[in-house]
Structure 1
Amino acid sequence: MRLRISPAVATFSVDILLTLGIALVAAWLLLRPLETRHVITVGANDRGVSGGLHEPEISASEGRPFRWTTGLATIRLAAMGFSNHSLGLRMSSAAGASSLLVSLNEKELATLAVTPAPRTYHLFIPAEWIRASGNTVTVRSATVQQPGDRRDLGVALFSVGLAALDAQWWLAPAQTAAITCATLLLLFTLRRLDAGRIRWLIAILFAAISLSMRHSDLRFNQRWEALLLTLGMAGVFILGLTLIRVSAPDSRLKQSSTGNRPPSTFNLQLSTLILYTLLTILLLAPLIPNPATHIPGPPGDNLEYVWKIQWFASALAERRSPAFVPHLFFPAGYELAYSELSPAHTLLGLPLTAVSGAVITYNVLIATSFVLTALFTMLLAERIGAGTFGAFIAGAGVGFCLWRYQHILGQMNMIGTQWVVLAIYGLEGFLRQRRTIDALLTGLGVALAAWSSWYYGPTLWLLLALWALLRWPWRETRAILAAWRPALAAPLVALALLAPYAHPTVQALRGGETRHDYAMLLLLSARPLDYLAPSRYHALWGGWAARVASDTAGAQLVAPGVSLLILAGVGLWRWRKQRVAWMLFTVGTASVVMSLGPELRVGDAVIPLPALLAYDYVPVLGSIRSWSRVALYAQICIGLLAGLGLAGFAQWRRPGRIAGAILVLGVVLEIMHAAPWHTTTGPRPVDRWLAQQPGRGATLEVPDSFAGPIEYYTLFSGHPSLTGYGTFEPAGATADMAWLREFPSARSVTTIQRLGGEYVLVQRDAMDRARPGWRDQAMQRPELARVYDDETYTVYQVRTLNVKR
């Protein structure tokens, strides 16, 4: 007799096999030695973790940085485990023996007699004194004043370190078990919600983001927090599963088809996909002459994102989290969460990166975003009632708009617009049909949009809330509330995919400044007339547009296109009796207002706008730097209204069809962008030279010392960098960064020395413009030796005179 396996058993078997596979990957990634010591080199990497210390200096006898303590100094150190620890302090006194008291977490450890000669002191710390959340070392001492120095000096503090005396062998197995159980619980919960096979994709994404963030960090305290977070999420999954199991299954509610058009067939969708792909190739081919060596746009943020794609692949291959970069902002390292992690590109692109490299992955992701944004917009337009032809034009108008084209030239984090449209598509579907799949798509779209950029994190939630409010079928409120079980899928998926991703971001930003200068907000906001400005990137009139609207660039490139705007007006008029048209108009108008930033200036009058309230009073929204990026939401609404305007096009009278055809041709013509820039991705001659130098001393590039290319070119030089790039500087780094930019001043050179810098790369032409006379100043610095010149760069090696290393 032939054994037959039911579909339910088969899919359950897949759940188990998938979970076992994730367990094996987790074990491979996590079962490796962790860091056992946390050492702070005082005066170098103590920024943001120390207090009660004077400005950094360099010791003539030690050849290393140090800082004098005041009467009370503190250093915060991370726990290396839950075992006994050893605390090491290297110190010296100002003159003669000096007595000081060392405490840990307000518990007295020892009274030490410190001598004028530098010496390292080791103190035993019992396990019960260690705090996983962080440990504060306090040094109390008497102070003296030296001749000619008004400072109250305690002791010279060179380094403070905390080391675990036993390995934390239990942690990696506990992490593996937690991720495995959480994944299995998520699968079971989604299975009870009738999620179908998409639950496997969601489970893989959950495991991938969990493992690539803090779980694979080499620092104990970060792994411990990740373990607690995963256990908490497992508890949420258990709660959700319990609620679903004990509740009575809700009846399936049939959605009214009023105002709907039947969705396009598979063949039609495939044809549309091919057309969008051909249009993408047409637009990008001139911009990327060789997709393996060139990327769109001038050198800038685009190189930063190529580096991030490669860094994710390299770090995970080394079985370490890419969320922390030890070779940027050396020697302290850089929490990448101060910038955009963009796992929608860096993490999801890993398979392609492993096969073809970061450059091809970067270009493929850009091309894919055009096609998917256009396709998802077309499906959304059909869902709200546009015909196939109108939906196609809506997809083209949104997918290939100027806003998107501007951002492919540098800001890759913003091109994940397809996920924004997917979230709206799911929400619109759920409000109509109350299906689990639509709720899943909403949650998945929200999560992947945030994975693309945190700009979409808070703003997309606001958009969806306004959309739901205006589209809410009030007569069916009871039916929608009764469908809470399928609705649960949206927040469940969003939580599963966003919590591990948000973890390092919350950690990084809670200790630093997250507000931008008000002037920066004004600079990166749109203006009303920008929505009508011609495209400076257009293949035909781009040069003319750049001349007549020279101040419309970058953040101001938000114009949706005149033809699309006219079609949107037609759609609003033809559908004026339908709620959907006024919903799109309201959401689009609100998006335009938000894109104008914190204020609108009309002559001498200054009109405060809603973004000002967000900047002043809303913590998360207050971190937004470029409000013009919200213009994407207006573009989507305008495109959808244009699609509605073309509904029933084949049945129009001849004059209407002619006018409509002219406008459609206008839409197609206006999306023909052709920016003249592309960037090569090979190493520079100076990078090849640096790679051949002995040692791995850190580098500094001036005058543009805070830029994306700095991160990228570390791939070739093999040297760490004293700086990096991101939305925010690391906590406490502001002073050092300001001093480094003063090169070749004495203070700048001293800062380079104490941070471990060895080479300064000077871009001569840019330096001549930014700091005339720098050559004469450099010649007067005996610590600088000119060791390299090419057509663009001069390199100085930083030497420390009369210092023992």
Structure 2
Amino acid sequence: MDESRADPAAERQRLRRLRAFTRHEWVVACFSALLLAVAMIWLLPPYAQWVMSAGSIPVRVANPARTIIGDGGDPSGQAWLIAWNGHAVRHGLGGLWNTNAFYPETYGLAFTDSLLGYAPAGLFGSGPDDAILRYNILFVLAFALAYLGGYALVRQLGANRIGAAVAGAVFAFAPWRYGHDGHLNILSTGGIALAVAMLARGHGWSLTQGYRPRRVRPGWALAGWLVAAWQITLGFGIGLPFAYLLAAACLAAVAGWLLTGRPALDRRLILADVAGGLAFAAVTGYLAQIYLRVRELHPETPRSWEYVALFSPTWRGLLAGPRPSLPWGAWHEPARAAMGNAPNEKVLLCGFALYALAAAGLFASIWTVRQRVLLGAGIVVGVLLALGTNGPLYRYLFLYLPGFDGTRTPGRLILWPTLLLGVLAAGLITHLSRRAAAVTGREHARLAARVVTVPLLIVVLFEGMPELDHVALPAAPAALAAAPAPLIVLPSDEGIDLNIALWSTAGFPTMVNGAASISTPDHQAIRDLMQTFPSAPSLDRLRGLGIRSVVVIRDRVLGTPFEAVLRAPPTPGVTRRDIGPDILYTLD
């Protein structure tokens, strides 16, 4: 009798706990981030295009297992990177940096951002099809984490939920980000905002209430440092400025502590900061010495100031969206054409709705006037840095901060003004919510706040909707599977080598082919020489490298300098075999 009474009560208690868990803010935020990313990146754009075209464009939702997001070039190479990292982890990490590509070069993984932090994903699946699906999943998750990171940071600073949602939407779906639809390393920014949010929470600090010793949480501080270290493992393209800003924040915190009379600090917090800071420094230092080694081996790696100028935006870039932006892509085509080469690196549009909200947030906000002035100043400084050679400040980074002379794309620094604009906008949204609640009274406060602010969130999200390409990649040639390694596939150039790298995920054969941010002179020299294959000099070079086979993709060499190989007569010491439409040459 007692058990029958206890069971219903226990069941009700479990249901209450379950409901409380599913309604918890952070559970809702995580679920919303994932759902929003899937909808914004994959599901909603086809329907939005159908509506905007009055039904003339049919609705086609791409298959994530058969197509890859982007143009099929850089995404193929990044899908290979993630697969290689997982392969290296499974085999003990001994050959991590010397990939199967770029043979006989060493440190091939460090020829670009390594995406090493995504290695756990590379443990699952094998071959090109799994690599494509894995890449598409991570692409969506990168946007989900960016939204969640922006939300968490601005919530910690003191904004309400809708304000934080606007900031998260801005940080994840700002139009300029789609100019990098082939650069997962640049889109993977969520760890930055999330780490700062964790560090702020761990130190009991917010914009609205300042430092609160009773709210110190050492565990959160340690977690923030570890997330920051993970972010660095994705690459220095975005991670380098983040590392310098963290160092500057630490110096500012120490200076503030000294100037305020050295107040007592929680010992557990000090231990967490020391342990986490050392972990972050160790990871950053390890990766830095790898890239410095590459620089020593290849002195041509640093970029010249004149080269950076070719990729530097002008202030007009702040008003131009990239081609994959659904609202602005077609409209802004003339503006992009006027930018010259690499317009995807020069479009800096953060969103016109965001500009309006942030501008209004300078005058009406929950942030203090002093905080708004500092946020505005930070935005101005960030924009001037993002202009590269067309601004007055970037030269100081280029000349005096190690690492900045290795990047050609200062426009990516627009990430930081975007985040600050989102903070300003969140301050306004929270202010409007409070005003609406105060005007309508307690009974209708929540409804009034949503009526005023949710439409602004919807506008921001619509402006951030993309029109991404979903490309079906060609299947690997059968001749590649039959070729003994080490091998080279012809033609070889910066474009097709990215596809070849993806094909190589079926077994990771050692090969000469490879494409990345840098192309070494020796690597290019092999490509140039192979245009004469099977000439005597090309065979001598291949045998000297220990190359055992050459795969010729017939339809890809047509119209290229490699086409002469199709008319080559039989060559002593070389066995030719036609496999399907392609050719396999085996060196005896």
* TM-score in same-fold range (> 0.5): yes
Any conservation in 1 of the 2:178–2:325 contact (CA below 8 Å)?
A: no
Match of 1:327 in 2: 100
Q: CA deviation at 1:371?
A: 1.8
Q: CA deviation at 1:477?
A: 3.1
- TM-score w.r.t. the length of structure 2 is 0.76
Matched, 1:668 2:440: no
Match of 2:323 in 1: 536
Q: Secondary structure at the match of 1:325?
A: coil
Q: Secondary structure at the match of 1:625?
A: coil
Alpha-carbon distance between aligned partners in 1 of 2:264 and 2:407, rounded to the nearest angstrom: 34
Any conservation in 2 of the 1:555–1:629 contact (CA below 8 Å)?
A: yes
Any conservation in 2 of the 1:470–1:583 contact (CA below 8 Å)?
A: no
Task: Out of 647-656 and 386-395, give the one that drifted further.
Answer: 647-656
Match of 1:415 in 2: 187
Matched, 1:565 2:355: yes
Match of 1:649 in 2: 432
Any conservation in 2 of the 1:439–1:489 contact (CA below 8 Å)?
A: no
Q: CA deviation at 1:494?
A: 0.9
In structure 2, what residue type is equivalent to 1:401? Answer: A
Alpha-carbon distance between aligned partners in 1 of 2:386 and 2:310, rounded to the nearest angstrom: 12
Q: Pick the aligned partner of 1:383 from 145, 148, 156.
A: 156
Match of 1:46 in 2: none
CA gap of 1:545–1:502, structure 2 versus 1, over 3 A, is same
Q: Secondary structure at the match of 1:560?
A: coil
Q: Secondary structure at the match of 1:647?
A: helix
- Alignment of structure 1 residues 476-625 onto 2, 5 Å: 477-479=260-262, 482=265, 484-513=270-299, 514-547=301-334, 549-551=336-338, 553-575=343-365, 577-597=368-388, 599-600=389-390, 609-625=392-408
In structure 1, what residue type is equivalent to 2:395? Answer: L
Alpha-carbon distance between aligned partners in 2 of 1:277 and 1:418, rounded to the nearest angstrom: 13
Any conservation in 2 of the 1:690–1:717 contact (CA below 8 Å)?
A: no
Q: Secondary structure at the match of 1:349?
A: helix
Match of 2:485 in 1: 696
CA gap of 1:400–1:540, structure 2 versus 1, over 3 A, is closer
Match of 2:232 in 1: 450
Q: CA deviation at 1:568?
A: 0.9
Any conservation in 2 of the 1:323–1:504 contact (CA below 8 Å)?
A: no
Any conservation in 1 of the 2:576–2:585 contact (CA below 8 Å)?
A: yes
Task: Out of 362-371 and 325-334, give the one that drifted further.
Answer: 325-334
In structure 1, what residue type is equivalent to 2:291? Answer: T
Alpha-carbon distance between aligned partners in 2 of 1:563 and 1:633, rounded to the nearest angstrom: 17
Q: Pick the aligned partner of 1:733 from 496, 514, 522.
A: 522
Q: CA deviation at 1:555?
A: 1.1
Alpha-carbon distance between aligned partners in 2 of 1:620 and 1:540, rounded to the nearest angstrom: 36
Match of 1:626 in 2: 409
CA gap of 1:767–1:616, structure 2 versus 1, over 3 A, is farther
Identity across aligned pairs (percent)?
A: 20
In structure 1, what residue type is equivalent to 2:424? Answer: L
CA gap of 1:737–1:593, structure 2 versus 1, over 3 A, is farther
Q: CA deviation at 1:272?
A: 3.3
What are the superposed Cα offsets for residues 323-351 of structure 1, whole Å, 9 maximum, x if unpaired?
233632334555422332222112x3245
What are the superposed Cα offsets for residues 545-598 of structure 1, whole Å, 9 maximum, x if unpaired?
33553356321232110001111111122247433323322332222222212x
**Higher relative contact order (Cα pairs below 8 Å, separated by 6+ residues):** 2
What are the superposed Cα offsets for residues 148-206 of structure 1, whole Å, 9 maximum, x if unpaired?
xxxxxxxxxxxxxxxxxxxxxxxxxxxxxxxxxxxxxxxxxxxxxxxxxxxxxxxxxxx
Alpha-carbon distance between aligned partners in 2 of 1:268 and 1:358, rounded to the nearest angstrom: 34
Any conservation in 1 of the 2:490–2:557 contact (CA below 8 Å)?
A: no
Of Structure 1 and Structure 2, the greater helix share is in 2
Any conservation in 2 of the 1:703–1:766 contact (CA below 8 Å)?
A: no
Alpha-carbon distance between aligned partners in 2 of 1:321 and 1:339, rounded to the nearest angstrom: 19
Q: CA deviation at 1:480?
A: 5.9
- Alignment of structure 1 residues 100-119 onto 2, 5 Å: none
Task: Out of 295-304 and 449-458, give the one that drifted further.
Answer: 449-458
Alpha-carbon distance between aligned partners in 1 of 2:220 and 2:579, rounded to the nearest angstrom: 60
CA gap of 1:319–1:776, structure 2 versus 1, over 3 A, is closer
Match of 1:677 in 2: 470
Match of 1:761 in 2: 552
Any conservation in 2 of the 1:537–1:673 contact (CA below 8 Å)?
A: yes
Alpha-carbon distance between aligned partners in 2 of 1:511 and 1:696, rounded to the nearest angstrom: 25
What are the superposed Cα offsets for residues 203-234 of structure 1, whole Å, 9 maximum, x if unpaired?
xxxxxxxxxxxxxxxxxxxxxxxxxxxxxxxx
CA gap of 1:309–1:397, structure 2 versus 1, over 3 A, is same
Alpha-carbon distance between aligned partners in 1 of 2:558 and 2:409, rounded to the nearest angstrom: 28
Alpha-carbon distance between aligned partners in 2 of 1:505 and 1:489, rounded to the nearest angstrom: 25
CA gap of 1:454–1:529, structure 2 versus 1, over 3 A, is same
Q: Secondary structure at the match of 1:674?
A: coil
What are the superposed Cα offsets for residues 757-804 of structure 1, whole Å, 9 maximum, x if unpaired?
432535756762x65xx646874677599755978xx647376xxxxx
Match of 2:178 in 1: 405
Any conservation in 1 of the 2:189–2:238 contact (CA below 8 Å)?
A: no
Of Structure 1 and Structure 2, the greater strand share is in 1
Query: 5+ unaligned residues in a row in structure 1: which ranges?
Result: 1-263, 601-606, 800-804
Alpha-carbon distance between aligned partners in 2 of 1:504 and 1:461, rounded to the nearest angstrom: 16
CA gap of 1:493–1:354, structure 2 versus 1, over 3 A, is farther
Alpha-carbon distance between aligned partners in 1 of 2:358 and 2:554, rounded to the nearest angstrom: 49
Match of 1:64 in 2: none
Match of 2:29 in 1: 272
Q: CA RMSD in A?
A: 3.8
- Alignment of structure 1 residues 14-413 onto 2, 5 Å: 267-286=24-43, 289-325=62-98, 327-346=100-119, 348-350=120-122, 352-353=124-125, 357-407=130-180, 409-413=181-185
What are the superposed Cα offsets for residues 695-746 of structure 1, whole Å, 9 maximum, x if unpaired?
335113325257422322223486532231233345x725634634755696
Match of 2:52 in 1: none
Q: Secondary structure at the match of 1:290?
A: coil
CA gap of 1:299–1:562, structure 2 versus 1, over 3 A, is same
CA gap of 1:617–1:540, structure 2 versus 1, over 3 A, is closer
In structure 1, what residue type is equivalent to 2:464? Answer: I
In structure 2, what residue type is equivalent to 1:532? Answer: L
Alpha-carbon distance between aligned partners in 1 of 2:331 and 2:575, rounded to the nearest angstrom: 48
Q: CA deviation at 1:691?
A: 1.5
What are the superposed Cα offsets for residues 673-706 of structure 1, whole Å, 9 maximum, x if unpaired?
12233344x733x2x123235x335113325257
Alpha-carbon distance between aligned partners in 1 of 2:332 and 2:25, rounded to the nearest angstrom: 37
In structure 2, what residue type is equivalent to 1:273? Answer: C
In structure 2, what residue type is equivalent to 1:621? Answer: F
Q: Secondary structure at the match of 2:585?
A: strand
Any conservation in 2 of the 1:697–1:720 contact (CA below 8 Å)?
A: yes
Query: 5+ unaligned residues in a row in structure 2: which ranges?
Result: 1-20, 46-60, 206-210, 441-447
Q: Secondary structure at the match of 1:515?
A: coil
Match of 2:9 in 1: none
Match of 1:152 in 2: none
In structure 2, what residue type is equivalent to 1:710? Answer: I
Q: Secondary structure at the match of 2:68?
A: strand
Alpha-carbon distance between aligned partners in 2 of 1:507 and 1:541, rounded to the nearest angstrom: 42
CA gap of 1:619–1:271, structure 2 versus 1, over 3 A, is closer
